[in-house]
Structure 1
Amino acid sequence: MALIGKKVAQFEIKSKCDVFHELWKTDPHQIPNVSPTTYQNCQTLEGEVGTVGSVLLWHYFHDGKDSVVKTLIEEIDEGKKSVTFKALDGDLLKIYKIFVVHIHVDTYGSNNLVTWTIEYEKLSPDVPDPDKLFDFFEKVTKDIETHHLNN
C-alpha cells in the first residue's frame, strides 16, 4: 500500500465560483457561520487573511468527533481561482506526515465546479486514505452554495 497519495473530488454548484473562491481566500472566518455543522471556529494565528503565509486555526467536526487543524495558506492563485492550505499541526498530522488541501473553482460551460484535491503522506501503511473527508468537503460545499443562493 502506497504511503503517498493524491485524491480529487468535484462538486457542481449553482452559486458563482467567484463568491466561493473569495470566501476561502479572504473570509474563511465566515465559514463556521455558513457551515456550522462542519466548522465551529476559524482564527487567524499569524499574518493577514487572504495572503500567502497566514496561519489559521480551524475547529471542525468530522467522523463523529471534534477536531482541530492549524493550516498555512501556502498558495493563492487568482487566475485559477484556487487556494492551497497545508496542515501544520493538529489531528490530521497524528496519522499523516503531510496533508495539503487545494480548493479550486472553475466554470465549464454552464457548470460551476468546486474541485477539492488532497495530497498526503501517511505515517504508516495501516492509515486509511482520507476518502471520508470528501463527504465532509461535499457538505461544506453544499452549505456554502445554499448560503449564497439564499442571500
Structure 2
Amino acid sequence: MGLTGKLIAQLEFEAGGDVFHEFFRHNPHQLSDACVGKVHACELVEGEFGKVGCVVIFRYSHDDGKQQSAKMVLDSIDEEKQALVVKVLEGDVMEFYKTFTITVHVETKDEIDHVTWTLEYEMLHEDVPHPISWLAYYIDITVDVETHHLAKN
C-alpha cells in the first residue's frame, strides 16, 4: 500500500460561504471562541493574518483531549474559489506524517453553500493510520463555526 493519500469531506454551511471563508482567512485567532474545547489558541508568528506566507501556531485538542500544537503556513489563497491552502510545518501531527496539507474551499450548488475540506498527506511509514480522525475533526470545527455564527445573528 502507498504512503500518500487524499481525504475529502463536504458539508452544507448555512451561515454563508463568505462568512466561512473570511473567518478562516482573516480571523483564525477567533476559532477558540467558536470551537470551545477543540481550538485553544492561534498565535501569529510571522506575517499578517489572511496573507499568503503568514505563519501561525495553533494549540488544539484532538482525539485524546490532550493539548497539542501545530505550526502552519498559509500557502495559497484563491479568492474566486474561496479556497485556502495551509501546510503544516511542525507539530504533533508531523510525528506521523512527512507532509500534511489542508485545503478548504467554499462552493455554491443550487444556492446552497458547501465547505469542502481536502487533506493531502504522506505517512512516515505503513503503520501510520490514514488521518480520518482529522477529517472528522475539521467537520466538527465547521459545524462549531456555523453554530457560532448562526447564534450571533
Q: TM-score, normalised to structure 2's length?
A: 0.96
Return the letter of the residue paired with 2:11. F
Q: Distance in 1 between matches of 2:100 and 2:136?
A: 17
Return the letter of the residue paired with 2:150. L
Which residue of 1 is the match for residue 44 of structure 2? Answer: 44
Which residue of 2 is the match for residue 136 of structure 1? Answer: 137
Determine helix, strand or coil for the equivalent of 2:132.
Answer: coil
Return the letter of the residue paired with 2:119. I
Q: Distance in 2 between matches of 1:133 and 1:12?
A: 19
Question: Once the 2 structures are TM-superposed, how far is the Cα of residue 110 of structure 1 from its aligned partner?
Answer: 2.9
Q: Distance in 2 between matches of 1:83 and 1:32?
A: 19
**Is 2:26 aligned against 1:8?**
no
Which residue of 1 is the match for residue 117 of structure 2? Answer: 116
Return the letter of the residue paired with 2:20. F
Question: Once the 2 structures are TM-superposed, how far is the Cα of residue 115 of structure 1 from its aligned partner?
Answer: 0.3
Which residue of 1 is the match for residue 78 of structure 2? Answer: 77
Note the alpha carbon deviations across 1:99-142, whole angstroms, 9 max, x for none.
Answer: 00001111111321110000000000110000011221111101
Q: Distance in 1 between matches of 2:95 and 2:121?
A: 12
Q: Distance in 2 between matches of 1:55 and 1:13?
A: 27
Note the alpha carbon deviations across 1:59-95, whole angstroms, 9 max, x for none.
Answer: 0110112211000000111000011110000001111
Return the letter of the residue paired with 1:144. V
Which residue of 2 is the match for residue 28 of structure 1? Answer: 28
- 5+ residue gaps, structure 1, are none
Moved over 4 A (4+): none
Which residue of 2 is the match for residue 56 of structure 1? Answer: 56
Identity score, percent: 40
RMSD: 0.8
Question: Once the 2 structures are TM-superposed, how far is the Cα of residue 147 of structure 1 from its aligned partner?
Answer: 1.0
Q: TM-score, normalised to structure 1's length?
A: 0.97
Q: Distance in 2 between matches of 1:139 and 1:92?
A: 18
Q: How do 1:69-108 residues align onto structure 2 when only pairs under 5 Å count?
A: 69-108=70-109
Q: Distance in 2 between matches of 1:149 and 1:106?
A: 19
